[in-house]
């Protein structure tokens, strides 16, 4: 057992579901969606190119809370079957060994959340019939009393808060519903929602929380932005709670997204499947007075797998101090050398996966993005997609057919990386072995996009909540 140390700092980790960095004013969005986070970030370091390499929730948090990639965790699908491997050690398990009290709010039962002392849930869904959904306030209602309890203990604490406001259903309470929209959302002349409400796999779900007769996509996007702004205001309450208890100076505070969101992009409407940068690019802010540079913005690349090693450095916990269950160590690296200006970037070329409503993998570089479908998807996308991220940063022009040379080059790099990681871990690439990843037992891999379109369906928020519960 590692020895306990006096005066170790507290850790508060905000894990925000479905928050895309480019819809935060902190990252240059034209709407003022995150004024409180913007101000808080001035006291810390902002990482501008932070990526969620393994989509969606379960695989993303598995990397975030272990410091490992998908080869190390063996988690790649939302509906991951079984717990994390015993050879993997989670962040709360590490910190518990050093005397930390650990609490998880809003993420009970997920394989990635293994090891907390205490789990607390709160209502984090909603529907049109139920009315506006103050998710972040409901989180505050349980988190602030828990913060008060933890602050009275003599030992340090690790508090993990999983926010759900940017996750569909987007139902921010007044006045945030109209903060960014002043049109008529049911204008019959506006046909922008026609393809959305015709998408059979999700249309019942959309109808359960969008206004009856919705016709304007911009209203729905404004609800997403309003949900972010509402959450930002509630997060300020938590900042104030830390400050009021004189905790802020000795608390490492991190704000991270698990993955982004597709809104009206790429015909992947109002959800987070796919591997476009709308889903991969997520925020990361680290705040720790005296330990993390204030007012710093890092332009180099970082990923979820780098977060836990970063926390270890900031807490002065070294690899040799950790009681490892096996010879496995972190796959990521601390980001503090970037924050201090000692290095310019971590991995700028990396393997990406998605296994929620699609099963795909690919390779991303600063110049190119390759995506390869391992099964046909229900959006009828081509098997191979290639994007020039310099000329086409929004990924609207698939040039795979015209640049087979680049496809071949990137595929080779990807396969070499897979072979390297399989050799290093002694484990297979989990994306290849997912069975009924889509939740349809006995169906097996989809043979056609039409089969996927006809098979996959989500009906209402209750069903969505059950889907998340099954993934836990």
What CA–CA distance (Å, rounded) separates 461 from 182? 26
Beta bridge partners of 160: 13, 104
Domain 10-347 has CATH 3.40.720.10: yes
Residue extents of the structural domains in the chain: 10-347, 351-464
* Cβ pair 263, 349 in contact under 8 A: no
Per-residue pLDDT of the chain (472 residues; tens, 9 = 90+): 565 667 899 999 999 999 999 999 999 999 999 999 999 999 999 999 999 999 999 999 999 999 999 999 999 999 998 899 999 999 999 999 999 999 999 999 999 999 999 999 999 888 888 889 999 999 999 999 999 999 999 999 999 999 999 999 999 999 999 999 999 999 999 999 999 999 999 999 999 999 999 999 999 999 999 999 999 999 999 999 999 999 999 999 999 999 999 999 999 999 998 999 999 999 999 999 999 999 999 999 999 999 999 999 999 999 888 888 877 789 999 999 999 999 999 999 999 999 999 999 999 999 999 999 999 999 999 999 999 999 999 999 999 999 999 999 999 999 999 999 999 999 999 999 998 999 999 999 999 999 999 999 987 656 555 554 544 3
284-287 vs 45-51, strand pairing mode: antiparallel
Question: Cβ–Cβ contacts within 10 Å for residue 49, how many?
Answer: 17
What CA–CA distance (Å, rounded) separates 67 from 34? 27
pTM (2 d.p.)? 0.95
**350-375 burial by CB neighbour count: b if 16+ within 10 A, else e?**
bbbbbbbbbbbbbbbeeebbbbbbbb
Q: Using CB atoms within 10 Å of the CB of residue 264, give its burial: 0 to 12 exposed, 13 to 18 middle, 19+ buried.
A: middle
Per-residue pLDDT, 3: 57
What CA–CA distance (Å, rounded) separates 315 from 11? 9
Counting every residue written for the chain, the total comes to 472
What CA–CA distance (Å, rounded) separates 117 from 260? 29
Residue with tokens 């909603």: 126
Beta bridge partners of 286: 45, 254
290: left (phi over 0), alpha (psi -120 to 50) or beta: left
Per-residue pLDDT, 2: 61
CATH numeric code, 351-464: 3.30.1120.10
Structure token digits, residue 254: 């991190």
Which distant-in-sequence residues (6+ apart) come within 8 Å of 33 by Cβ? 23, 24, 25, 225, 228, 229, 232
Per-residue pLDDT, 471: 41
Per-residue pLDDT, 383: 98
Per-residue pLDDT, 4: 62
Residue with tokens 């590692």: 2
Structure token digits, residue 204: 């019942």
Closest by CA position to 41, among listed 298, 371, 391: 298
Backbone angles phi, psi at 284, to 5 degrees: -145, 120
Per-residue pLDDT, 458: 86
Compute the radius of gyration of the chain from its Cα atoms.
21
């Amino acid at each position: 057992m590692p020895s306990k140390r006096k005066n170790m700092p507290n850790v508060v980790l905000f894990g925000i579901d479905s928050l895309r960095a480019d819809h935060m004013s902190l990252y240059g969005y034209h709407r003022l969606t995150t004024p409180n986070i913007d101000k808080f970030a001035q006291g810390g370091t902002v990482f501008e190119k932070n990526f969620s390499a393994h989509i969606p929730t379960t695989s993303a948090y598995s990397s975030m809370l272990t410091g490992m990639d998908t080869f190390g965790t063996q988690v790649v699908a939302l509906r991951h079957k079984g717990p994390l491997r015993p050879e993997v050690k989670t962040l709360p398990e590490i910190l518990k060994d050093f005397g930390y009290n650990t609490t998880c709010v809003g993420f009970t039962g997920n394989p990635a959340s293994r090891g907390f002392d205490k789990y607390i849930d709160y209502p984090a869904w909603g529907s049109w019939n139920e009315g506006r959904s103050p998710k972040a306030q409901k989180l505050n209602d349980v988190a602030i009393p828990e913060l008060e309890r933890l602050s009275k203990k003599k030992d340090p604490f690790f508090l993990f808060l999983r926010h759900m406001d940017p996750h569909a259903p987007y139902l921010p309470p007044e006045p945030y519903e109209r903060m960014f929209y002043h049109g008529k959302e049911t204008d019959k002349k506006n046909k922008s929602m026609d393809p959305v409400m015709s998408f059979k796999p999700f249309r019942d779900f959309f109808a359960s929380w969008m206004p009856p007769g919705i016709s304007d996509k911009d209203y729905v996007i404004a609800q997403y932005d309003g949900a972010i702004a509402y959450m930002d205001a509630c997060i300020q309450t938590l900042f104030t709670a830390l400050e009021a208890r004189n905790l802020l100076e000795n608390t490492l505070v991190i704000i991270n997204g698990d993955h982004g969101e597709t809104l009206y992009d790429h015909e992947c409407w109002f959800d987070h499947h796919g591997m476009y940068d709308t889903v991969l690019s997520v925020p990361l802010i680290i705040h720790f007075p005296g330990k993390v540079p204030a007012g710093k913005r890092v332009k180099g690349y970082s990923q979820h797998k780098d977060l836990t090693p970063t926390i270890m450095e900031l807490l002065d916990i070294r690899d040799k101090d950790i009681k490892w269950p096996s010879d496995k160590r972190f796959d990521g690296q601390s980001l503090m050398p970037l924050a201090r200006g000692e290095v310019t970037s971590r991995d700028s070329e990396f393997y990406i996966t998605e296994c929620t409503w699609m099963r795909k993998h690919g390779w991303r570089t600063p110049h190119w993005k390759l995506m390869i479908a391992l099964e046909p998807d229900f959006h009828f996308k081509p098997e191979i997609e290639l994007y020039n991220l310099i000329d086409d940063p929004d990924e609207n022009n698939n040039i795979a057919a015209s640049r087979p040379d680049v496809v071949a080059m990137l595929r080779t790099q990807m396969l070499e990386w897979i072979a390297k990681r399989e050799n290093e871990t002694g484990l297979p690439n989990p994306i290849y072995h997912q069975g009924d990843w889509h939740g349809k037992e006995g169906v097996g891999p989809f043979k056609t996009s039409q089969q996927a379109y006809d098979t996959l369906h989500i009906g209402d928020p209750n069903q969505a909540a059950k889907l998340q519960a099954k993934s836990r």
